[in-house]
Structure 1
Amino acid sequence: NLESAIQKHKNKYILMVEGGIPMGDTEHFLTIGAHGKTGYELSKMASENALAIFAIGTCSSFGGIQAARPNPSNAQPLSKVTSKTVINVPGCPPSEKNIVGNVLHYLLFGELPALDVYNRPKWAYGLRIHDLCERRGHFDAGEFVHAFGDEGAKQGFCLYKVGCKGPYTFNNCSRERFNQHTSWPIQAGHGCIGCSEPDFWDTMGPFEEPMASRKFDTVFGLGADSVSDKIGIGVLTLTGVAIAAHAVISSMQKDKE
């Protein structure tokens, strides 16, 4: 069982955890096994004796959908359970390459990969979806989908105006894709929903509308999107550099309408 495996391989095993963890008065909302131990108890016990710890998926990395306001189960990320360093591999779901790649990095080099401020490995989460998106050229040219199924959608134009959160989301989906490099959401015709970002369930919605002038916090700090047909460059920080290009193009070309 788990307890005997932990004792047998104490301080020699790699721990990988999926799922948000209820804590406090709602800890019993997640119970596991015949003895009814809580997820909090088991994850804490396993973390204390682990050589390295990986939170796999957005739920264990940041709490997940069940942590959306008002978070009735008080779901928390794995990092709230232990004081040890937790390497977050978020995504809903995360790429299999990001999961295996991080474990291999540790096994091959004997050290954890470089991490960003959210403890995500920089090699996988160091660039925005937007940076390597196959539709980026359409963004730069001011060519946008305005409604699903319109002519722009048929032409493969940028999905920003129908809610794509690629400019705010740090992940390598646009490079690595899913299902043995077969496809990914934007290739399939729907915008990124920001699922590898903390609290995306509360901060990124509505998922099929642009961020407009709402503030949004990223690894680069607090920034703002620009209303699609106004320049608004003065309010943009590093989080909105890509949006500045869109703002200028929109003001000059009116999206080629």
Structure 2
Amino acid sequence: MFNYQALMDLCKKRLDKLSKMPALKSTPLVDNIEQSGINRREFMKWSSLTAAALALPMEFTPMVAKAAELADRVPLVWLHLAECTGCSESLLRADTPSLDTLIFEHLSLEYHETIMAAAGWQAEENLEHALETYKGQYLLAVEGAVPTANNGTFLTVGAKGKTGMAILKEAADGAAGIVAVGTCSSFGGVQAAAPNPTGAKGIHKVIDKPVVNLGGCPPSERNIVGTLMYFIMFGKLPPLDIYNRPRWAYGARVHDNCERRGHFDAGEFVEEFGDEGAKNGYCLFKVGCKGPYTYNNCPTQRFNSGTSWPVLAGHGCIGCSEPDFWDSMSEFEKPLGRRDITSSLDKTSDYIGTAVLGISAVGITAHAVASVFAKKLDEEE
């Protein structure tokens, strides 16, 4: 049985330490929440949902709330490398402020190229100042792959003409924790797709420090903020799977929690986009859904303030949170069939294994065929 009391004691010790540190923001979180029209009840509900998402007992709800209020004690440096900024957009693009975005804004965001006003020399000075002032204290978030070919010259950034690889190594050196936000920074993403002329890689292949990978193109705002909250609460990185993804967010297959799973089991499939099966919300496996091979919480967390996600909207999962998905999961609108693809399979808290998913692909296809056959027998009877 897991010792939650020890974890609670660790959290209390961490929050006590943070409460004695000076706030780096002038406005308390409570004031920001009230100005946004969010009441205390909604804030505590968010705290409860966050505790549940992090696989913590409800006794941690008050601690989640306190950690959110103390988030302005934690300096955050956010780097952009070879990417499209979609991960930042996932977190920041909201028609109305959500508690996730408010918590993110309450962090002491010392550097973020997308939303900061500074540019050129001033921006470089801001980054250098943050890395020096908060050395050993700041949380480093990195968005985008690292081009490594030609000593990293395919990505040259800023007034001083530093390579992205050099900036990453410098920032990682003094970081208390490092989070790779999105598939590009986690595994290379589309930049690393064959033939990968820039030598793009996930950041864990460039630096020699532990990295939390938040796979997804983009990951949900809950996965980003939840991981930041875990670090604030415990001062360490969360339990990870074999690809260094948080188990609380990537511990189950998309297929397992999909709202179309019942149709899969019943042998009801979309044969082509726009057919009657598509109109009836049938399973998308035959038109390329990679949900059985993909680990993520998209079906439960969703996007756009929790309103939808790709499969609910009518297109199959493309496996974007998996390593090398651009090459290994394509073609995106055709099933994998018998082709081998290496990925992680079922996980428990004590054991995480890998296997060749080509075997699973055969099993899944066989199950689908058997389901259809059984359905036809029922109809004939």
Give TM-score scaled by structure 1 length: 0.91
Structure 1 counterpart of 2:23: none
Structure 2 counterpart of 1:232: none
Letter in 1 for 2:216: G
- Please, which moves more after superposition, 24-33 or 44-53? 24-33
Matched, 1:222 2:355: yes
Match of residue 193, structure 1, among 318, 335, 349: 318
Please say if residues 266 and 372 of structure 2, whose CA atoms lie closer than 8 Å, have aligned partners that are also in contact.
Answer: no
Match of residue 158, structure 2, among 33, 36, 52: 33
Match of residue 106, structure 1, among 231, 236, 257: 231
Please say if residues 337 and 362 of structure 2, whose CA atoms lie closer than 8 Å, have aligned partners that are also in contact.
Answer: no
For residue 112 of structure 1, report the CA deviation from its aligned partner: 1.3
Structure 2 counterpart of 1:229: none
Match of residue 196, structure 2, among 71, 94, 109: 71
Find the aligned partners of 1:82 and 1:43 in 2 and give their Cα distance: 8
Find the aligned partners of 2:376 and 2:242 in 1 and give their Cα distance: 37
For residue 4 of structure 1, report the CA deviation from its aligned partner: 1.9
Cα RMSD over matched residues? 1.9
For residue 218 of structure 1, report the CA deviation from its aligned partner: 1.2
For residue 90 of structure 1, report the CA deviation from its aligned partner: 1.0
Give TM-score scaled by structure 2 length: 0.62
Match of residue 240, structure 2, among 108, 115, 130: 115
Find the aligned partners of 2:131 and 2:208 in 1 and give their Cα distance: 18
Matched, 1:245 2:329: no
SS in 1 for 2:342: strand
Letter in 1 for 2:319: G
Letter in 2 for 1:30: L
Letter in 1 for 2:368: H
Please say if residues 128 and 166 of structure 1, whose CA atoms lie closer than 8 Å, have aligned partners that are also in contact.
Answer: yes
Structure 1 counterpart of 2:64: none
Find the aligned partners of 1:115 and 1:208 in 2 and give their Cα distance: 30
Structure 2 counterpart of 1:62: 187
Structure 2 counterpart of 1:158: 283
Q: 1:50 to 1:224 in 2, by over 3 A?
A: closer
Find the aligned partners of 2:222 and 2:277 in 1 and give their Cα distance: 32
Letter in 1 for 2:356: G
Find the aligned partners of 1:254 and 1:222 in 2 and give their Cα distance: 33
- Please say which structure displays the higher CA radius of gyration: 2
Please say if residues 212 and 246 of structure 2, whose CA atoms lie closer than 8 Å, have aligned partners that are also in contact.
Answer: yes
Find the aligned partners of 1:119 and 1:240 in 2 and give their Cα distance: 27
Letter in 1 for 2:217: C
Please say if residues 13 and 51 of structure 1, whose CA atoms lie closer than 8 Å, have aligned partners that are also in contact.
Answer: yes
Please say if residues 167 and 240 of structure 1, whose CA atoms lie closer than 8 Å, have aligned partners that are also in contact.
Answer: no
Find the aligned partners of 2:251 and 2:279 in 1 and give their Cα distance: 31
Equivalent residue runs for 1:74-93 within 5 Å? 74-93=199-218
For residue 105 of structure 1, report the CA deviation from its aligned partner: 0.7
Find the aligned partners of 1:203 and 1:185 in 2 and give their Cα distance: 19
Please say if residues 290 and 335 of structure 2, whose CA atoms lie closer than 8 Å, have aligned partners that are also in contact.
Answer: yes
Letter in 1 for 2:355: L
Letter in 2 for 1:165: K
Letter in 2 for 1:223: V
Please say if residues 182 and 218 of structure 2, whose CA atoms lie closer than 8 Å, have aligned partners that are also in contact.
Answer: yes
SS in 2 for 1:219: strand
Letter in 2 for 1:168: Y
Structure 2 counterpart of 1:233: none
Q: 1:156 to 1:252 in 2, by over 3 A?
A: same
Q: 1:8 to 1:252 in 2, by over 3 A?
A: same
Letter in 2 for 1:212: G
Matched, 1:94 2:216: no
Structure with the higher fraction of residues in helix conformation: 2
In the alignment, structure 1 segments of 5+ residues that lack a partner are 226-235
SS in 1 for 2:153: helix
Match of residue 203, structure 1, among 328, 332, 340: 328
SS in 2 for 1:245: helix
SS in 1 for 2:177: strand
For residue 246 of structure 1, report the CA deviation from its aligned partner: 2.3
Please say if residues 32 and 38 of structure 1, whose CA atoms lie closer than 8 Å, have aligned partners that are also in contact.
Answer: yes
Matched, 1:11 2:136: yes
For residue 242 of structure 1, report the CA deviation from its aligned partner: 5.1
In the alignment, structure 2 segments of 5+ residues that lack a partner are 1-125, 346-353
Letter in 2 for 1:141: A
Percent identity, please. 56
